[in-house]
Amino acid sequence: MSRVANGIRSTGHPLSGNLFTELQSDILRGRLKQGEKLSEQQICDRYGLSRTPVREAFRQLELEGLIETIPNRGAYVLGLSERDLSDLFEMRKAYEVLAVKWAIERITEEEQEKLEEAYEFMEFYTMKGEADKMLNINMQFHNLIYKASHNRMLEHTLSTYQLYLKETESNSAYLDGHLEQVLMEHKKIFDAFVSKDPEAGAVAVAAHLDNAKARSK
Amino acid sequence: MSRVANGIRSTGHPLSGNLFTELQSDILRGRLKQGEKLSEQQICDRYGLSRTPVREAFRQLELEGLIETIPNRGAYVLGLSERDLSDLFEMRKAYEVLAVKWAIERITEEEQEKLEEAYEFMEFYTMKGEADKMLNINMQFHNLIYKASHNRMLEHTLSTYQLYLKETESNSAYLDGHLEQVLMEHKKIFDAFVSKDPEAGAVAVAAHLDNAKARSK
DNA sequence: AATTGTATTCTTGTATACAATTATAGGCGT
DNA sequence: ACGCCTATAATTGTATACAAGAATACAATT
């Protein structure tokens, strides 16, 4: 089955299944600006597709709140303001707390093994001081928790938020010089999985995200 | 502008803009069952539409997590389990708390007037003992808070959750005999708007939703 | 000069046609 | 009878064609 994380389908045409993702990224990165009109034909020409897949992508972007479509008039980019992003961080925190609680209650053995493996990679990269690899494994660690929560909507929403924050933030090296600190925060989270203590996990995740926000400033 | 609450567009054809809503409702109400295959042609025949609008609706349902589509194979109903709904309630609570906090900080005068008006209707219907009208105004009251949070995504998500829980729950008369209690809970929420105390609002909303969950059992 | 009415053009909404992939059924051999 | 292969049918993915509504330009009138 060729299904990828975010429910993105990869089909024959090189861009068809990814058009939604492509436009999403363009909006989040600011390549498409607030208020800009998105003509279907224009997108067709740019990506070499017909209107059918373009319209499907538009409907999805509309549902995600990234564009607004007015009947018989067209689609307009909405984008995210600074406050939207700040809000998104809080929304993410609220859901991460739920996710870790449920994950600790519901995680399977295989999933916990993968989480342990991810944590061990974090230890390794911290030792080696590789901040960029740390960023990647950090994302994986959190995604494993989302999956272990065994709630499709929560998993999907948190993955989307992660993408939004990743695409917009300039967190290229925001954890340089904080690697040990970050590792310690994840250790507390992982420990909560070992001791099967949802409340401890919730506290650890909330603290981790608060610190992450402070670091990104 | 003919745009409705949930971003639903109403166009020429009687069902086109509502097909997504229609299928959403069918899945939530259990008319379309878990695992059932959704053939595009079958939906076209049933609703008298061509495949283009049907596919657009499918893409949206997929994004909402109500169906799963496998490339070149088709769409399958996912539906919501008992645990999913219980989880949804918790997710809603987490977001309602954020919404009320932000709403208290950001509400405009006009919005607060509308909220007050809604609350006064609640007092009126409580006095008259009209439980069904109370259910409606209750929804409106919460929707006004969502809107006053001035965060599109939060507003949209909470509206969707409200729909999900409303469509699935059999809360026809779950607040019969609890009208005074429900009114009191909303008074505490509204008071927090008057005194502009976000934390008090958060506490009041959390308590209200916990009680609502207890009542629905 | 400003405004209103109209015709034209452009864009979206929907339907249909074609291509590609997958499922199915029947025949063949073992 | 069972499994495998091939041919056919069915379904999805994409492109194009047609219909309906909105925006624009322009002329006529005040």
Residue B6: is its pLDDT beyond 90?
A: no
For residue A124, give how far its alpha carbon lies from the nearest alpha carbon of chain B (Å): 35
Mean pLDDT of chain B: 89
Q: Summarize the confidence of residues B39-50 as an average pLDDT.
A: 94
Average pLDDT over residues B187-198: 98
* Cβ density class A19-44: b for 16+ within 10 Å, e for less: bbbebbebbbeeebeeeeebebeebb
> What pLDDT is recorded for position A173?
55
The better pLDDT of the pair B12, B99 is held by B99
**Domain at A82-215, CATH from 3.40.50.720, 1.20.1050.10, 1.20.120.530, 3.40.50.460:** 1.20.120.530
pLDDT of residue B169: 66
Which nucleotides in chain C lie less than 7 Å from some protein C-beta?
Answer: 11-17, 20-23
Across the range B158-176, mean pLDDT stands at 78
Paired tokens of B132 = 């069904």
Residues of A with CB under 8 A from a CB of B: 1-3, 7, 9-11, 17, 52, 55-57, 59-60, 62-65, 68-72, 78, 84, 87-88, 90-91, 94-95, 97-98, 102, 151-154, 156-157
Residues 58-77 of B with CB under 7 A from strand D: 69, 71-75
- pLDDT means over runs of 10, chain A (217 residues): 35 58 93 93 93 94 94 92 94 98 98 97 92 90 98 95 82 71 96 98 97 82
Residue B217, pLDDT > 80, answer no
Residue B175 pLDDT more than 80? no
Domain boundaries, chain B: 16-77, 82-215
DSSP collapsed to 3 states, chain A: CCECCCCCECCCCCCHHHHHHHHHHHHHCCCCCCCCEECHHHHHHHHCCCHHHHHHHHHHHHHHCCEEEECCCEEEECCCCHHHHHHHHHHHHHHHHHHHHHHHHHCCHHHHHHHHHHHHHHHHHHHHCCHHHHHHHHHHHHHHHHHHCCCHHHHHHHHHHHHHHHHHCCCCCCCCCCHHHHHHHHHHHHHHHHCCCHHHHHHHHHHHHHHHHHHCC
Enumerate chain B positions whose Cβ falls within 8 A of a Cβ in A.
Answer: 1-3, 7, 9-11, 17, 52, 55-57, 59-60, 62-65, 69-72, 78, 84, 87-88, 90-91, 94-95, 97-98, 102, 151-154, 156-157
List bases in chain D with any atom under 7 Å of a protein Cβ: 11-17, 20-23
Compute the nearest-CA separation of A131 from chain B (Å): 32
pLDDT level of residue B87 (50, 70, 90 thresholds): very high
Q: Do A94 and B90 touch (CB under 8 A)?
A: no
The answer to whether residue B167 scores a pLDDT higher than 90 is no
CB contact under 8 A, B65 and A153: yes
pLDDT at B69: 94
pLDDT at A171: 59
Task: Please check the confidence at residue B118 and state whether its pLDDT lies above 50.
Answer: yes
Look at B91 and A154 and tell me if their CB atoms are within 8 Å.
yes
pLDDT of residue B112: 98
Instruction: Please check whether strand D approaches the CB of A51 to within 7 Å.
Output: yes
pLDDT at A7: 39
pLDDT at B98 over 90: yes
Answer whether B71 sits within 8 Å of A2, measured CB to CB.
Answer: yes
Minimum CA–C1' distance nucleotide for A70: C12
User: What is the distance between the alpha carbons of residues A192 and A202, in angstroms, rounded to a whole number?
Assistant: 9
pLDDT score of A14: 45
Residues A144, A118: contact at Cβ < 8 Å? yes
Average pLDDT rounded to a whole number, residues B14-22: 73
The pLDDT, as a whole number, for residue B13 is 47
pLDDT bracket for residue B166 (50, 70, 90): confident
Q: For domain A16-77, give the CATH number.
A: 1.10.10.10
Confidence class for position B131, pLDDT limits 50, 70, 90: confident
Of B10 and A202, the one with more pLDDT: A202
Q: How far: A179 CA to C28 C1' (Å)?
A: 66
pLDDT of residue B132: 85
Chain centre to alpha carbon of residue A163: 3
Q: What is the nearest CA distance from A65 to chain B, expressed in angstroms? A: 6
Q: Is the pLDDT of residue B17 over 70?
A: no
Q: Please give the mean pLDDT across all residues of chain A.
A: 88
- Check residue B173 and give its pLDDT: 55
> Which residue in chain B has the smallest CA separation from A106?
B83
